[in-house]
Amino acid sequence: MHANIPFSTSRLDGLLDDAGIDVLIVTSKHNIQYLLGGYYHFQFDYMEAIGISRYLPIFVYVKGELDKSAYIANRNERDSVQNRTGAGYWMPPVVFGSSTSVEAMTLALGHIKAIATPTLRVGAELSFLPADAADVLRRERPDCPLVEAMRPLEKLRSIKTAAELGILREASERVVASMMDAASRTRAGQSKREIIDHLRHAELSRDMIFEYALVTMGTSLNRAPSEQRLAPGDIVSLDSGGNYKGYIGDLCRMAVHGTPDGELVDLLDEIDLIQQAARAPIRAGLDGCEIYAAATEALARSPHGKQMHFVAHGMGIVSHEAPRLTASGPIPYPADDANAPLEAGMVISIETTLPHPRRGFIKLEDTIAVTPDGYQAFGDDARGWNRIPA
């Protein structure tokens, strides 16, 4: 087996077996990137529409038979693939020639017909499968039951390798450093859009892709970009997602123009107590729901606990990926992993928010990696009140 295969074939085979999938048709950008070790054709990094259709790369994986895998590539993708394989990275056999989603699926099915038995249970990512490509799949293989493949692929990604953990640590540290850079450049009178622009440039200067910033200012609880201007003494919440080598650094830190008063110090300390309580029990083997149990107990003791919001969710290539620990968070999904033990290599974002009606939006969000006997916090700096120069 090629030494550079970027995922565990045995783990994937077991997950597909559990899901009742014989052959996998992968069409989402994030899973293509994951299964090909970070590769995605550069021409479509930002926009997948072209001509009358869209770029649709497809990775075909036959359970237990890696040698029958194939990557269905756009006809303009030869140079990218050549650079990738020339640098020694693993690639399955590549089928070039697609320029539309229908052509891509037709080529994928032609490959499956050539290498597999007629009746198969096909796993597909239904949220990431264009309707016209799905029509081709159903029309050409009416004998093949279609199975949702999101969950096995999500579980495959949930256990990070040492290399992935290193990237996530770096992503987290770079996001926090960018926030501090943005705070140092911010002045009274600047708009929220200008502050976000400071953060964007700070992340870009650190070789990141700026994805988003949720920013509040003063007593407002509105986190969208606007022309609201920073007044003397205002607090600022910086919650940003920056992408580094395909992985998301997603953290939140607080800043204040001038010097925080005693009440602000106490409120942020109160939030930090919840954060510390939630992370304290984390280790491999702990049921995921115990993170919520620890946070709930701390919230019950907190003076503002009834006004606070706590959430814990998986992190990696996708925000809010497995482990999924709650069915009542801000992003709707089932709590499939709440009663399952955490595993070393999982990465969890924990966040506590206090939307204070008089002082404003106060929040901390931290990135925690599960280890065999505890946890590691990534980008764990600047968790107090960071100063915006007066």
Kindly give the pairing relationship between strand 146-148 and strand 122-124.
Answer: parallel
As averages over each run of 10 residues, the pLDDT of the chain (390 residues) reads 82 97 96 96 92 96 94 96 94 95 96 83 96 95 92 98 97 98 97 98 98 97 98 98 96 98 98 98 98 98 98 96 96 96 98 97 98 98 96
> Which own/partner contact pairs does 220-226 have at CB distance under 8 Å and 24+ positions apart?
220/360, 220/361, 221/355, 221/360, 221/361, 223/361, 225/192, 225/193, 225/196, 226/191, 226/192, 226/193
Length of the chain counted residue by residue: 390
> What pLDDT score was predicted for residue 46?
87
> What pLDDT score was predicted for residue 3?
63
Q: Confirm if 195 and 339 have CB atoms less than 8 A apart.
A: no
CA 75 – CA 96 distance, rounded (Å): 5
Q: Confirm if 129 and 148 have CB atoms less than 8 A apart.
A: no
> What pLDDT score was predicted for residue 1?
44
Q: Report all structural domains of the chain as residue ranges with CATH numbers, in order of start.
A: 9-158 (3.40.350.10), 162-388 (3.90.230.10)
> What pLDDT score was predicted for residue 2?
57
CA 321 – CA 317 distance, rounded (Å): 8
Q: CA end-to-end span of the chain, whole Å?
A: 60
Greatest Cα-to-Cα distance within the chain, rounded to the nearest angstrom? 71
CA 289 – CA 330 distance, rounded (Å): 17
- Report phi then psi at 96, rounded to 5: -90, 160
